[in-house]
Structure 1
Amino acid sequence: MSETRRQGDWPRTTDAEFGPPQAGDYRAAPEDFVVEEVLGFAPEGHGEHLWLWIEKRGLTTLDAVRHLARACQVSPRAVGYSGMKDRIAVTRQWLSVQLPGQPAPDDLVVRLAACGVRVLEQARHPRKLKRGVHRANRFTLRITGAAVNAQLEARWAWLCHHGVPNLFGPQRFGPEGRNLARARALLARGWRKRDDKEGMLLSAARSYLFNEQLAMRLDDGSWQRLLTGDVAILDGSASQFVVEALDGELAERAERLDLHPSGVLWGVGNSLAEGEAVRYEQALSERHATLCQGLERAGVRVARRALRMRLDQPRLEVSADVARLDFHLPRGGFATAVLRELLDHPTLTSFAERTAPGHEPG
């Protein structure tokens, strides 16, 4: 990876084929960015937890959690959610609230509506909604500007065929990268939970290291193919295995997006990578020793994340200078990682400059 690259200015894979994209806009209004959680199962219809299918605008998921807790007169800890969703967007997702042996307040729907949370459906379930249990997110996005041209369709087709680099979006690191700067300082002196109660700074550090590793593999062209010693992840699942010997079948499965190479989410424990794939992790530990060592001292457990994500059920409609994109991403995938391959916008490239809020996946 180039040592002169600006912080957070990770490469685009489509530039080699098409050159840099032209400028465009993607969030002129909340309705231009619609996110809908795909849970993958339905509440059972009974139990002490009330599950609510909500729609919100201008609110974070944690804002909606606080409003629901206040309306039901419970602690926010009694409220569950699966993923964090955007603030500047129209988003639909499930929340749960524990109400053992008691009904919901009669005016719950009205009270939430007054806070900007619209209840679309309600159902009971025996268990609290846990983080990361949903299957995917569906995005419906509207983009405008010079980027909406004939080349946009070619870029889109390329991504549908080859997949999208699974980068964490710049919003993960805060405006101007301030979350990452705070993480560096905290990890250098020793992480303490009281200084990072939600683990946001730990997440920023791990996300940055992952993006750095993915950038190395974008630079050398190996981000979409398996290497000996890679930990392969089966598309659409958490199943993974070490590629001890690369053969034609595994290479073909990677080419058709059935298998993806993965990168490390840094922490304590064995990353599982071997052989040729280990050199990227060694480079991380050398270039970012403070972050790596700080995460290990904090006791974060090592994990894996696919380097690539597949666009599921993709659709593109272009009319005049407006394009509408419709696609599903696995949970944890950033729509901004897709958009940065299609248009040039200051919030999609480097966080060395001022950034605006973007997609926070769930």
Structure 2
Amino acid sequence: MKLYTRIKRTPEDFIVEEIPALELKKEGNFYLVELKKRNVSTLETLRVISRFLKIPLKEIGFAGLKDRFAVTTQYLTIPTNYEIDERCFRFNGRWKEVKNLNWEKEYGFCIKPLGKVERPLKLGDLRENRFTITVRNFEKNLRERFYRNYDIVKRYGFPNYFGEQRFGSVKSRDDFVLRYLLRGDFEGALKSYFFGKSSVEYWGDWRKLYKTLSPTLEEYEKDLIRGLMRGLSAEKAFRILPKNVRLMFNFAYQSFLWNEYLREYIEEKYPFIRIPFINNWKLSYWIEVPDVEYLKELQIPYTGKEFKVKDKTLRRAMMRVLRKYGVKEEWFDREVGGMVVMTDGLRKAAVFLKDFKILEKTKNRIKVRFSLPPGSYATVLLRFLLKG
């Protein structure tokens, strides 16, 4: 049985609460705004807020992307020169402002200003995420597997892979827009953005493209195609996309490469099992770790250009991945499409659960609560606990 038939039967099966890092102040240049949403992505809520409240997307600060098919509470910052009050928005074929939301049935979100803070939120700017998750179809063989794998996680943590949300925040999961950009192929990048690897007979007929896709497009995507219709080059049209959308292409590809570094490292060093992931990719999980104290402190860079790798096993793993996917060193810190891509940074290889608690347990269902540090994914943990 697939993972999401067990943990996401309804949005209420997957509840996420951000624990923010910012503290309210008497004075400040930004409002801290609570965003509660049901069955809608973070990026979509930002676009709706931007459109209805006339606030440029770049002015809205947020700490992370939260699952779409879930009930989540997170926080935004908005400059105090914009008016902000309690508002609710519902999606029923189109977005509409409403007085309140039926949280048991409707899809949408509400925002509520809490007070002022001194600076805007940025990605990763929170203390932790708290998850309350219901697992269904929790039959006997699954229960045994869950408790056995939880014992491994309790002792050794679990691999800090990027979860599927990191790859679903752009249009296509089966291709990487950034690979086209790095080759200077902006038209290929646009085609990948709209259609992935699918072939399209009318590509290049911008009027037909506009007419076909228009009902499902965001306003900035319509602007992009209108630009192509006016004769803009593919590169200039690409720059019409908001910068936070363009940056997602970079994040998605670098996250994929990082996951591959970690998978290769685990497979060379530890006893492991492979578990299916999206797009026929695989994630490998350790089942025994003799050097857990070392692993706790291990950080893996995104490129290794700025943060040199001393661990020989990790260095070999990274080189194998870069060779396999044809990644060139001259791509690191490169400016392309109005953004700097393939930058270096560090991410912990392992993550450990905090405050794990079983809230409810029946013959066919279990409800658990736990916290994870920012940037770590509950779905990555659950893939291992439930073995896909």
| CA–CA distance in structure 2, aligned partners of residues 109 and 24 of structure 1 | 29
The answer as to 2:241 corresponding to 1:261 is: no
**Contact 2:88–2:110 (CA under 8 A) maintained in structure 1:** yes
Q: Deviations over 1:38-65 (max 9, x none)?
A: 1134221322322112211122112222
Cα offset for 1:133? 1.1
Cα offset for 1:37? 0.4
The structure-2 alpha-carbon separation of the partners of 1:252 and 1:321, relative to structure 1 and needing over 3 Å to count, comes to closer
| CA–CA distance in structure 1, aligned partners of residues 59 and 333 of structure 2 | 31
**Contact 1:51–1:95 (CA under 8 A) maintained in structure 2:** yes
The residue type equivalent to 1:184 in the other structure is R
| CA–CA distance in structure 2, aligned partners of residues 96 and 288 of structure 1 | 38
Which residue of 1 is the match for residue 65 of structure 2? 84
Larger Rg: 2
Cα offset for 1:264? 2.1
Cα offset for 1:195? 8.2
Cα offset for 1:213? 1.0
| CA–CA distance in structure 2, aligned partners of residues 131 and 121 of structure 1 | 20
Which residue of 1 is the match for residue 108 of structure 2? 116
The answer as to 2:197 corresponding to 1:217 is: no
Q: Secondary structure at the match of 1:44?
A: coil
Q: Secondary structure at the match of 1:186?
A: helix
Cα offset for 1:125? 1.8
Cα offset for 1:334? 1.1
Q: Secondary structure at the match of 1:28?
A: coil
The answer as to 2:84 corresponding to 1:104 is: yes
The structure-2 alpha-carbon separation of the partners of 1:253 and 1:194, relative to structure 1 and needing over 3 Å to count, comes to same
Which residue of 2 is the match for residue 17 of structure 1? none
Find 1:309's aligned residue among 345, 351, 354.
Answer: 351
Q: Deviations over 1:260-282 (max 9, x none)?
A: 31222127x33321252422222
Q: Secondary structure at the match of 1:127?
A: coil
The residue type equivalent to 2:351 in the other structure is M
**Contact 1:33–1:89 (CA under 8 A) maintained in structure 2:** yes
The answer as to 2:35 corresponding to 1:60 is: no
Q: Deviations over 1:309-360 (max 9, x none)?
A: 1111112353211121211111111111101102244xxxxxxxxxxxxxxx
Q: Secondary structure at the match of 1:132?
A: coil
| CA–CA distance in structure 2, aligned partners of residues 121 and 160 of structure 1 | 38
The structure-2 alpha-carbon separation of the partners of 1:130 and 1:182, relative to structure 1 and needing over 3 Å to count, comes to closer
Superposition CA RMSD, Å: 3.4
Which residue of 1 is the match for residue 120 of structure 2? 128
**Contact 1:21–1:344 (CA under 8 A) maintained in structure 2:** no
Q: Secondary structure at the match of 1:117?
A: strand
The answer as to 2:26 corresponding to 1:34 is: no
Q: Secondary structure at the match of 1:52?
A: strand
Find 2:255's aligned residue among 178, 185, 207.
Answer: 207
| CA–CA distance in structure 1, aligned partners of residues 182 and 308 of structure 2 | 24
Q: Secondary structure at the match of 1:270?
A: coil
| CA–CA distance in structure 1, aligned partners of residues 143 and 3 of structure 2 | 9
Q: Secondary structure at the match of 1:149?
A: helix
Q: Secondary structure at the match of 1:87?
A: coil
> Could you state the TM-score of these two structures normalised by the residue count of structure 2?
0.66
The answer as to 2:162 corresponding to 1:168 is: yes
The answer as to 2:181 corresponding to 1:186 is: yes
| CA–CA distance in structure 2, aligned partners of residues 56 and 275 of structure 1 | 42
Q: Deviations over 1:87-122 (max 9, x none)?
A: 11000011122123x7535x6468574683234661
**Contact 1:217–1:223 (CA under 8 A) maintained in structure 2:** no
| CA–CA distance in structure 1, aligned partners of residues 328 and 378 of structure 2 | 26
The residue type equivalent to 2:146 in the other structure is L
Find 1:278's aligned residue among 306, 315, 340.
Answer: 315
Aligned length, in residue pairs: 295
Q: Secondary structure at the match of 1:85?
A: coil
The structure-2 alpha-carbon separation of the partners of 1:291 and 1:57, relative to structure 1 and needing over 3 Å to count, comes to farther
Q: Could you tell which deviates more after superposition, 113-122 or 155-164?
A: 113-122
- Gapped regions of structure 2 (runs ≥ 5): 90-96, 102-106, 187-234, 273-289, 336-340
**Contact 2:167–2:173 (CA under 8 A) maintained in structure 1:** yes
| CA–CA distance in structure 2, aligned partners of residues 331 and 313 of structure 1 | 15
Q: Could you tell which deviates more after superposition, 165-174 or 132-141?
A: 165-174
The structure-2 alpha-carbon separation of the partners of 1:218 and 1:177, relative to structure 1 and needing over 3 Å to count, comes to farther
**Contact 1:52–1:119 (CA under 8 A) maintained in structure 2:** yes
**Contact 1:263–1:305 (CA under 8 A) maintained in structure 2:** yes
Q: Deviations over 1:178-222 (max 9, x none)?
A: 354433333333677728742122112111111111111221235
| CA–CA distance in structure 2, aligned partners of residues 118 and 26 of structure 1 | 24
**Contact 1:21–1:341 (CA under 8 A) maintained in structure 2:** no
Cα offset for 1:26? 0.9
The structure-2 alpha-carbon separation of the partners of 1:322 and 1:148, relative to structure 1 and needing over 3 Å to count, comes to farther
The residue type equivalent to 1:288 in the other structure is Y
| CA–CA distance in structure 1, aligned partners of residues 163 and 58 of structure 2 | 27
Cα offset for 1:35? 0.6
The structure-2 alpha-carbon separation of the partners of 1:151 and 1:21, relative to structure 1 and needing over 3 Å to count, comes to farther
